[in-house]
Structure 1
Amino acid sequence: MRDGEEAEAFIAAHATIARPALVPEIPLYLATEITPIWQATEAWLGEQGIEPPFWAFAWPGSQALARWILDTPSLVAGKRVLDFAAGGGLAAIAAARAGATFVEAAEIDPLAHAATRLNARLNGVSIVEVPGDVVGAPNRWDTVLAGDVCYEAPMTSHILPWLRGLAAAGAEVILADPGRAYVPRDGLEAVARFRVPVTRELEDRDEREVVLSRITP
């Protein structure tokens, strides 16, 4: 991976500032189509077969989390918040704008961290980066936001025991699920629902219902 400034320059050159449909208050650097940004990322990195550039899109789970937080700032005001698998940092930015005292964004993709830095500056907030795989870290947060993370079986089996452990350690862990196949069927308490406009290129439909659930220990 190239240095952070090069990564930010790449994102600024290949994404445009846009506003997510459900959270127009928060502008982000976003891509309009997945194939061009994916191909451009592979060319820039000099690698083939990389993971999709999740940072380049405002996924429905993150949009629902951000909307929920902005509509009810008391959920995070004065708290320590983690945006897990943050992508471009949408939920983290919403938490910072809602008055969280300390906000971290965890991602394994350095380009996602670059996107979060750009997006945070665009919105005038401060987000702390947590690079690498944070799964297994002891709890240091009051609230953990996990948007759209149960899209593959290995991912779900890797993260879910840790998220449940954080809940047992006293964190409020909120899982945002837009109907992915591997979301757990037990140990969840629904707290909100949102209908999020999406694109057919990414979701093969025009709208997703996102359920926000509290993970029980």
Structure 2
Amino acid sequence: MTPPDAAAFIRAHLPVLPVPGLPEIHLHKAVPASGVGRLAGDEAPYWAHYWAGGLALARYVLDHPERVAGRRVLDLGAGSGLVAIAAMKAGARDAIAIDADPHALAALALNAAANAVSLDIRAGDAASLVLPDVDMILIGDLFYSDDLAEAVTAFLDRCLDRGIEALVGDPWRRPLPLARLREVARYDVAETGMAPKPSGVFRFHRNVA
């Protein structure tokens, strides 16, 4: 069976809805009738849902636009593009949105258009990414496995060596490298299908005293 065209499927089956707690942003969102498994197959369609770390990080960026205003940012593991879109709405000069999933790349383009922002959308992952020419890295919900946490931490260490700042959003998942993070904000947010729960926004450091 020929797989469906990702952009056409997303437009037809995932309605554009306001993001809970972030009414400034609207995203194509999977609903029970979407049948998103027909597109994603065996891959989890994480880009079609809300996740706590991204919700908190996007809210923080919108609440503190001075953190990104006039700066070039990179949203690593961008998924739906929520954080990159928030950065552009908060006044970022440019936002690079990177994800390894081709379906996420299609969703990124559609979500950027739905929010009238421009994103530099690229395929890639933390393990193979060349150091970007940016001022800040934004990462929501990437510390969900030990191997990925190790790869992301190594990438952020290389960024620190270049003087690139990093902010992380995460609901305290087990692989989160807490010794390398300083909490700067906390929000109660609701992942898709879940009750609200706390999620933190952290600044990444080489060492935390």
Mean Cα deviation higher: 162-171 or 187-196: 162-171
Residue 131 of structure 2 corresponds to residue 132 of structure 1 = no
Instruction: Give distance in 1, aligned partners of 2:191 and 2:143.
Output: 18
Partner of 1:155: 148
Question: Residue 25 of structure 1 aligns to a residue in which SS?
Answer: strand
Is the contact between residue 139 and residue 171 of structure 1 (CA under 8 Å) also seen in structure 2? no
Question: Residue 9 of structure 1 aligns to a residue in which SS?
Answer: helix
Q: Which runs of 5+ in 1 are unaligned?
A: 43-47
Deviation of the 1:191 alpha carbon: 0.9
Deviation of the 1:167 alpha carbon: 2.2
Partner of 1:45: none
Is the contact between residue 126 and residue 152 of structure 2 (CA under 8 Å) also seen in structure 1? no
Deviation of the 1:33 alpha carbon: 4.3
Partner of 1:65: 57
Instruction: Give distance in 2, aligned partners of 1:132 and 1:216.
Output: 23
Question: Residue 137 of structure 2 aligns to a residue in which SS?
Answer: strand
TM-score relative to the length of structure 1:
0.87
Is the contact between residue 61 and residue 68 of structure 2 (CA under 8 Å) also seen in structure 1? yes
Amino acid at match of 2:198: E
Q: Which runs of 5+ in 2 are unaligned?
A: none
Partner of 1:215: 204
Structure 1 113/34 Cα, relative in aligned 2: closer, same or farther at 3 Å?
A: farther
Residue 83 of structure 2 corresponds to residue 91 of structure 1 = yes
Q: Which one scores higher on RCO, CA 8 angstroms, separation ≥ 6?
A: 2
Is the contact between residue 144 and residue 172 of structure 1 (CA under 8 Å) also seen in structure 2? yes
Aligned residue runs from structure 1 range 118-129, under 5 A:
118-129=110-121
Structure 1 35/79 Cα, relative in aligned 2: closer, same or farther at 3 Å?
A: same
CA RMSD of aligned residues (A): 2.1
Deviation of the 1:35 alpha carbon: 9.1
Question: Residue 27 of structure 1 aligns to a residue in which SS?
Answer: strand
Aligned residue runs from structure 1 range 31-110, under 5 A:
31-33=30-32, 36-37=35-36, 39-42=37-40, 48=41, 50-110=42-102
Q: Percent identity, aligned pairs only?
A: 37
Runs of 4+ residues deviating >4 angstroms: none
Spell out, residue by residue over 1:112-170, the C-alpha distance to the aligned partner (whole angstroms, 9 max, x if none): 11111111111111000121225441241111100011111111122211112212321
Aligned length: 204
Is the contact between residue 80 and residue 101 of structure 1 (CA under 8 Å) also seen in structure 2? yes
Instruction: Give distance in 1, aligned partners of 2:155 and 2:191.
Output: 29
Question: Residue 55 of structure 1 aligns to a residue in which SS?
Answer: helix
Structure 1 213/130 Cα, relative in aligned 2: closer, same or farther at 3 Å?
A: same
Partner of 2:14: 15
